[in-house]
């Protein structure tokens, strides 16, 4: 680059210095030199990036609901009568917490919690209503096999109670 205060060595005038934000232009090539090939566009294009989405704390309307799949799994496990209602209840609570953190509602998780809790209560009541009296009657008959045992308000001979209990 040439100094604007010092003349060029070949006696040509010095071009003025570029202003702020402008680029210095190269002096034209002498006529006897061959012109440089014209500049061509690059063979590739620069990647175009989308603008970053604005975040307002709420997920997009069409976006996935966190905990929805887990809520569906919890619902299915809560209605399975094999005794998985406790697992469905726990997974339903986890799915509901995930959905609430994201600010969304999850009907499957709520249904799984309700059904799982009801199934758990019914299962506990059945244990107290069926299993415990049967065990008491079987224990009574094991102590006295010739006597009678009262099961669900009915007096039964101990031989029949032991046969039903598999002993």
What is the pLDDT, as a whole number, of residue 41? 63
Domain range for 113: 68-165
Q: How many domains does the chain have?
A: 1
11-48: per-residue pLDDT in tens? 666 666 777 777 666 655 565 555 566 666 666 776 77
Q: Are residues 111 and 124 in contact, defined by beta-carbon separation less than 8 angstroms?
A: no
Q: Is residue 144, in this structure, part of any structural domain at all?
A: yes
Q: Is residue 62, in this structure, part of any structural domain at all?
A: no
Closest C-alpha to 116, from 96, 145, 136: 96
115-155: per-residue pLDDT in tens? 999 999 998 888 888 777 777 777 777 777 777 877 777 77
What is the pLDDT, as a whole number, of residue 5? 62
Confidence of residue 71 (pLDDT cuts 50, 70, 90): very high
Provide the phi-psi class of 11: left if phi over 0, else alpha when psi is between -120 and 50, else beta: left
Q: Is residue 149, in this structure, part of any structural domain at all?
A: yes
What is the pLDDT, as a whole number, of residue 84? 86
pTM, two decimal places: 0.50
Secondary structure of the chain in the HEC alphabet?
Answer: CCCCCCCCCCCCCCCCCCCCCCCCCCCCCCCCCCCCCCCCCCCCCCCCCCCCCCCCCCCCCCCCCCCHHHHHHHHHHHHCCCCCHHHHHHHHHHHHHHHHHCCCCCHHHHHHHHHHHHHHHHHHHHHHHHHHHHHHHHHHHHHCCCCEEEECCEEEEHHHHHHHHCC
pLDDT averaged over every residue in the chain:
77
Q: Is residue 6, in this structure, part of any structural domain at all?
A: no
Q: Is residue 21, in this structure, part of any structural domain at all?
A: no
CA distance 23 to 145: 111
């Amino acid at each position: 680059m040439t100094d604007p205060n010092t003349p060029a060595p070949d006696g040509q005038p010095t071009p003025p210095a570029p202003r702020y934000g402008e680029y210095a232009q190269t002096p034209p090539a002498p006529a006897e030199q061959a012109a440089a090939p014209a500049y061509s566009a690059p063979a590739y294009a620069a990647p175009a990036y989308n603008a970053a989405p604005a975040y307002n704390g709420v997920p997009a309307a069409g976006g996935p609901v966190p905990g929805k799949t887990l809520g569906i799994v919890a619902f299915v496990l809560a209605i399975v009568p094999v005794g998985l209602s406790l697992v469905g209840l726990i997974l339903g609570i986890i799915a509901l917490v995930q959905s609430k953190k994201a600010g969304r509602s999850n009907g499957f998780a709520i249904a799984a919690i309700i059904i799982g809790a009801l199934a758990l209560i019914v299962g506990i009541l059945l244990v107290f209503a069926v299993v415990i009296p049967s065990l008491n009657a079987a224990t009574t008959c094991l102590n006295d096999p010739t006597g009678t045992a009262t099961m669900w308000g009915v007096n039964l001979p101990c031989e029949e109670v032991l046969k039903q209990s598999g002993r």
